[in-house]
Amino acid sequence: MSTRPNPLAEGLGLRRRPDPCALVVFGASGDLTQRKLLPALYALAYRRLLPERFAVVGVARTEQTTRQFVSSMRRAVKAHARDPYRTDVWESLAAGIRYVQTDFADDRGEDRVSETLERLERERGAGGNRLHYLAVPPVAFETVVREIGERRRAGDGWTRLIVEKPFGHDQASALELDGVLKRWFAEDEVFRIDHYLGKETVQNMLALRFANGIFEPIWNRQFIDHVQITVAEAIGIEGRSGFYESAGAVRDIFQNHLLQLVALTAMEPPIDFTADSVRNEKVKVLRALATPGPGSIVRGQYGRGWVEGEEVPSYREEPGVAADSVVETYVAAKLSVDNWRWAGTPFYVRAGKRLARRETTIAIQFQRAPHPPFAELAGGGLRPNVLLVHVQPNEGVSLAIGAKVPGAGMQIRTVHMDFLYGGAFREGVPEAYERLVLDAMLGDATLFTRSDEVEEQWNLVDAIVGGWRRHTPRMPNYAAGTWGPAAADQLLHRDGRSWRRH
Ligand SMILES: NC(=O)c1ccc[n+]([C@@H]2O[C@H](COP(=O)([O-])OP(=O)(O)OC[C@H]3O[C@@H](n4cnc5c(N)ncnc54)[C@H](OP(=O)(O)O)[C@@H]3O)[C@@H](O)[C@H]2O)c1
């Protein structure tokens, strides 16, 4: 008997190709360009998803020729791309790459960027459409935006900007950055990256909710007991003390990724999947989030411990961290979305570094069955249904349901119905940056954050951080390799609940 091929296994490479364009990467010698951006461009080239006529100009301070830049990018692609290295794919991409060495603040250097870009556009037929990627530290942001804005030419094709996080340090600084952008660019020309939105499983949350008839009728306070969102990292700060000491977990993860996951989980169905419809619904959730009181938020910092079999230092012992630092490496909160759908259904969220393992999950815990006729037979093992979205690793979705144990009697146990991306689709899961760079070339901002979302996110974070000034817990308060401070467990125990552990 022959089996029919799985129609889903074809993968998702069926997208329209963008118009000819040039990508200008500011910060081309940096970590992001090497580890994420160039490998993403290579993956797009590999699948023939880049424009037919395409060019890249890299800009940074490091002294190097185009030839040296191209060979360091080839090494980066070999080291970080998800596809095998193919000389023909690389060479077709590399033929359109140039490098310009300059300080962003140097006008003569920026003249050379413009000249190189114009020449390359003519050579490659890139058509005058320009996507600028700001892979630069926050201090360089304004200078680069000004350079691009002042040199933009009217009527020559589109101009777009991809802006990296962090977008500001608080609401006031985010508004200031927006002011800088708005001097030269319209909102639909600005693409603020939150790379979580580029992850397949995060988008699958939208598919799960809005492409299936069975979930939406029960996606509310009547059927859902609570939601848990976990963004756990096993790694420490990886030498980024300069950034982390002034950010902490609340600015690094909670302000953007975590709140975006809350918004996607809680949002109303958009009328369509255009950027504004989706973002209109997300921003309503962000506005409906009440500021958690001091009893509903917990922060922590890791001490020494063991992670994945290795002894690791405490946060305060990391190079560049103050010996008495009280910066949080962990944050947990009980959030309430004060609207008709969610009133009374808490969203427990947590994010931390040096936790027991790397895991990002959204767990929707449904109410218990109202009348459990099998209670005395269940041996206490029957838990409420949980829909678990694995954002990373092992991308997929699983539903915990009660099932009868084979054999005599009526014993019930929790089992899992699993969908794993790796098993259902032949095409591997694309890196978030592939999707996002392609979307920006196509002018689709659905998976990027709009200025009003960023503003609402900071509004909440400012209120939380403001509250923290009155009282600082003793730090460190959790050992590396554990699941965070005891107070985070108590946050749920008080409500008769506990964090998921698997
Ligand atoms: N790395 C990541 O995985 C990651 C993830 C999320 C967000 N981000 C954000 O992305 C941005 C870049 O991060 P990164 O890790 O790639 O930083 P990075 O490794 O420090 O690279 C910064 C780049 O900017 C260039 N640069 C800085 N100031 C300059 C100036 N005045 N003139 C010319 N070039 C200048 C540097 O050039 P030279 O080194 O040649 O001087 C380098 O190419 C940051 O805003 C970061 O927060 C990064």
Name the β-bridge partners of 332.
298, 350
What does the pLDDT average to over 23-32?
A: 96
Residue 374: is its pLDDT beyond 70? no
Give 326: exposed, middle or buried? Use CB within 10 Å, 0-12, 13-18, 19+: middle
Which of the pair, 5 or 387, is modelled with greater confidence?
387
Q: Name, in order, each residue with C-beta under 8 angstroms of 15's C-beta and a sequence gap of 6 or more.
A: 49, 438, 442
* Those residues with Cβ within 8 angstroms of residue 287's Cβ, 6 or more apart along the chain or in another chain: 456
Cα–Cα dist 266/364, whole Å: 11
pLDDT of the residue at 375: 59
Contact yes or no for 255/331 (Cβ under 8 A): no
Distance (Å) from CA 149 to ligand 1 centroid: 20
- pLDDT value for 8: 40
**According to the model, what pLDDT value does residue 424 have?**
75
Q: Using the mean position of ligand 1's atoms as its centre, give its distance from the Cα of residue 458 in Å.
A: 23
pLDDT above 80 for 86? yes
Which atom of ligand 1 is least distant from the CA of 103? 32
**8 Å CB contact between 282 and 360:** no
Is 80 exceeded by the pLDDT of residue 423? no
**Cβ–ligand 1 contact at 27 (below 6 Å):** yes
Torsion on CA atoms 464, 468, 472, 478, rounded to nearest 10? 10
- The CA dihedral of 322, 326, 328, 333, to the nearest 10 degrees, is 180
Confidence tier at 418 by pLDDT (50, 70, 90): confident
Does ligand 1 have an atom closer than 6 angstroms to the CB of 109? no
Query: From CA 434, how far away is CA 475, in angstroms rounded?
Result: 39
29 lines ligand 1 (CB under 6 A): yes
CA dist 26 → 104, 141, 307, 327, 372 (Å): 8, 10, 36, 30, 61
Tell how far the Cα of 137 is from the centroid of ligand 1, in angstroms: 5
* CB 418 within 8 Å of CB 384: no
pLDDT tens digits, one per residue of 148-176: 999 887 777 999 999 999 999 999 999 99
pLDDT(1) > 80: no
Q: Tell me which residue has its CA closest to atom 5 in ligand 1.
A: 32
Residue whose Cα lies nearest atom 7 of ligand 1: it is 165
Q: Give the three-state DSSP class for 145.
A: helix
Calculate how far, in angstroms, residue 136's C-alpha sits from the geometric centre of ligand 1: 4
CA of 138 to the centre of ligand 1 (A): 9
* 136 Cβ below 6 A of ligand 1: yes
Q: Which listed residue (257, 390, 416, 502) is catalytic? A: 257
Residue to mutate, 29, 32, 99, ligand 1, most ligand atoms under 8 Å from C-beta: 32
pTM: 0.93
Question: Is the distance from the beta carbon of residue 133 to the nearest atom of ligand 1 less than 6 Å?
Answer: no
Distances 5 to 9, 13, 182 between C-alpha atoms, Å:
8, 18, 51
Mean pLDDT over all residues of the chain?
91
Q: Report the amino acid identity of residue 281.
A: E
Do 403 and 410 touch, CB atoms closer than 8 A? no
Domains of the chain from N-terminus onward: 7-164 (3.40.50.720), 197-493 (3.30.360.10)
Based on the residue annotation, tell me whether 132 is a catalytic residue of this protein.
no
Does position 216 have pLDDT exceeding 70, yes or no?
yes
Ligand 1 site, residue 103, Cβ cutoff 6 A? yes
